[in-house]
Amino acid sequence: MAKLTVTKDTLQIELGFWERLGSFSRNATIQRSDITEVGHMEKVSMSIFGYRVIGTGLPGVVVLGHFRKSKKRMMVYWTRGQQALILDLKNSPYKRMIIGCDNAKALAKELTTGV
């Protein structure tokens, strides 16, 4: 599971070894000023991911990597049993990030206070 750390100015995403390998990416730091919208989903529907460009996709089990949907580039880190934190971004190579976590609603609320 990705470890998320919220500071005054940033959201830091620290990935485990298998997440880095499966998603073909590395740890990321997002400026809170680059987050345009924050959402969450408790019961994740596979339709939000779109199609996989590169990464790992076992529907309903694990979704990691670069995805596209409606001409939006997305980075996804999600595994079964997790809720989803959905971030719409500006000034980033990705227009949306979907990150699996235990309590997406609380994290979304914490991020929204600074947006």
Q: Which two tokens stand for residue 50?
A: 């779109």
- Residue 70 tokens read as 């409606």
- The H-or-E segment that residue 113 falls in is none
In this prediction the pTM is 0.86
Other CB atoms within 10 Å distance of the CB of residue 115: 13
Q: One digit per residue, pLDDT tens: the chain, 115 residues? A: 788 888 889 999 999 898 888 889 989 999 998 999 999 988 887 777 877 888 888 878 888 889 898 888 999 898 888 999 999 999 888 999 999 998 889 989 988 875 4
H or E element at residue 101: strand 96-101
pLDDT, position 115: 47
Give dist(CA 98, CA 76) in Å, integer.
5
- What is the C-alpha radius of gyration for the chain, rounded to an integer number of angstroms? 13
Handedness of CA 12, 25, 62, 32 (dihedral sign): positive
